[in-house]
Amino acid sequence: MGVERAGKTEEAITLEGIQRFYGFLKRMNLPTSMGEVGIDDSQFEAMAKRGTRFGTSVELNVGNFVKLDCQDIINIYQLVNKEKIYEIHTCA
């Protein structure tokens, strides 16, 4: 993304790279949120269940570096969508 590393912390480099990538997506008229493609928070639980159950009724933790459960995935969806992150969802 053309970020100059000299004199910057890893965090500053990362944030600038994210900002540049976001700008690139916007210039290309590509969506940058789930809301822009018609996904809202009412769908997060079903999406998380599909991602942790793999077509079965048994919920599994997923991931290699950090194991994620259904609620973890919902929390991530809420954060990345930046909409109504205060709502509580369950995976019951």
pLDDT value of position 86: 40
pLDDT value of position 59: 83
Please check whether residue 87 is in contact with residue 45, taking contact to mean a CB–CB distance below 8 angstroms. no
Model-level pTM greater than 0.85? no
Best CA proximity match to 78, nearest among 54, 44, 47:
44
In angstroms, the CA 45 to CA 1 distance is 34
Query: In this structure, which amino acid lies at residue 84?
Result: K
Q: How far is residue 29 from each of residues 2, 7, 15, 46, measured CA to CA in Å?
A: 20, 32, 21, 28
pLDDT in tens, the chain (92 residues): 889 999 999 998 998 998 899 889 999 999 888 888 899 889 999 999 988 887 777 888 888 889 999 999 999 988 887 643 344 444 54
